[in-house]
């Protein structure tokens, strides 16, 4: 059983982790997620033969490899998602893509386990697009691995036009749909560029909220720089932290933040 001193030490180590995660990844872990994060991290530390404090030392001294660092970031972030989560975003993407003269290219940043990119694909298919690419990126390799399988619990809006039954209560997107939805493990704060040039639309929803306002603006500026002139950037309502972009025009939309690149 833990003594009071042990508990105090655990709390200090957990707080050090939060500080370091914030410093290194610019992610904020609030008090509501702290307990879950500490539990998950303790279990990961055990798997590597360490305790929380030992793992922290390895992390700080740069002795963890990229995959281990990425897994810690996976534990520090929230991956909640669902199909057709925010219909106004899907409507905006469909509307922008209706005016393109080539197969649309849509980038979903912070796509978690793939529900968002597949929802976009369903919307484009149902709007009559025969060809397009939706590219989902997420910092979490486990999320990307799941997304690539294209297997999910059944959902009333995932019908035979896009998916087929795959065992009890499961569906799998048809192979030809999966071919049009690609995934990449990628940290949007890293220097490496996303492997998806000239997207017509970039969407990032429910990801910026975990970052400080300055970091949100940095991420948005990076995303803006990826857009060709005429390309659109979408974030959820109130997620942009009152961003005032250069070279982009804010389009009137009271349900989301919609920007178009003008220069
Ligand atoms: C709450 S989920 C939102 C998923 C989806 N966009 C939605 O709205 O349903 C946030 C996702 O952002 C990812 N994420 C957080 N920081 C990231 C970063 N720096 N680069 C890429 N993805 C990141 C997390 O791993 C997580 O899967």
- What's the confidence (pLDDT) of residue 145? 94
Q: Whose CA is nearest to atom 14 of ligand 1?
A: 110
Distance between CA 113 and CA 145 in Å, rounded? Answer: 8
Give residue for tokens 């978690």: 112
Residue 74 pLDDT more than 70? yes
Q: List pLDDT tens digits, range 215-241.
A: 899 999 999 999 999 999 999 999 988
Which of 25, 30, 77 to mutate for ligand 1's pocket (most ligand atoms within 8 Å of CB)? Answer: 77
- Inter-CA distances, 247 with 97, 104, 109, 149, 260, Å: 21, 22, 20, 38, 9
Residue in the block written with tokens 């530390």: 45
DSSP element (H, E) containing 7: helix 4-25
pLDDT tens by residue, 115-172: 999 999 999 999 999 999 999 999 888 999 999 999 999 999 999 999 999 999 999 9
Mean pLDDT of 109-118: 98
In tens, the pLDDT along 180-194 reads 999 999 989 888 999
Task: Say how many Å lie between the CA of residue 154 and the centre of ligand 1.
Answer: 22
Pocket-forming residues, ligand 1, beta carbon under 6 Å: 77-81, 85, 110-112, 116, 137-140, 143, 187-189, 205-207
Please tell me the predicted confidence (pLDDT) of residue 2: 55
pLDDT in tens, 10-27: 788 999 999 999 888 777
Rounded CA gap, 15 and 29, in Å? 10
Measured in degrees and rounded to the nearest 5, phi and psi for residue 137 equal: -125, 150
Check: pTM over 0.85? Answer yes or no. yes
Is the model's pLDDT at 207 over the cut of 80?
yes
What's the half-sphere exposure (Cβ side, CA atoms, 13 Å) at 208? 26
Give the DSSP H or E segment for 175: helix 175-180
**Domains of the chain, with CATH numbers?**
4-76 (no CATH), 87-261 (3.40.50.150)
Mean pLDDT of the chain: 93
Whether 202 contacts 233, CB under 8 Å: yes
Of 173, 121, 119, which Cα lies nearest the Cα of 148? 173
């Amino acid at each position: 059983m833990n003594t009071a001193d042990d508990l105090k030490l655990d709390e200090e180590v957990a707080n050090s982790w939060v500080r370091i995660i914030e410093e290194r990844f610019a992610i904020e872990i609030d008090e509501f997620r702290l307990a879950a994060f500490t539990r998950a991290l303790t279990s990961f530390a055990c798997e590597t033969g360490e305790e929380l404090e030992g793992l922290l030392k390895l992390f700080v001294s740069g002795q963890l490899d990229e995959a281990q660092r990425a897994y810690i970031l996976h534990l520090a972030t929230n991956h909640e998602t669902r199909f057709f989560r925010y219909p106004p975003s899907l409507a905006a993407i469909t509307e922008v893509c209706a005016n393109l003269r080539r197969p649309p290219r849509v980038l979903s940043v912070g796509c978690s386990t793939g529900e968002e990119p597949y929802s976009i694909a369903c919307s484009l298919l149902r709007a009559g697009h025969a060809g397009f690419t939706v590219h989902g990126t997420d910092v979490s390799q486990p999320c990307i691995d799941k997304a690539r399988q294209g297997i999910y619990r059944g959902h009333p809006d995932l019908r035979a036009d896009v998916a087929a039954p795959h065992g009890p209560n499961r569906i799998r997107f048809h192979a030809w749909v999966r071919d049009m939805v690609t995934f990449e493990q990628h940290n949007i704060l890293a220097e490496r560029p996303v492997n998806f040039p000239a997207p017509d639309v970039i969407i990032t929803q429910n990801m910026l909220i975990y970052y400080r306002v300055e970091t949100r603006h940095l991420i948005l500026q990076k995303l803006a720089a990826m857009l060709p002139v005429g390309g659109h950037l979408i974030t959820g309502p109130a997620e942009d932290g009152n961003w005032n972009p250069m070279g982009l025009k804010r389009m009137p939309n009271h349900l989301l933040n919609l920007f178009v690149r003008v220069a």
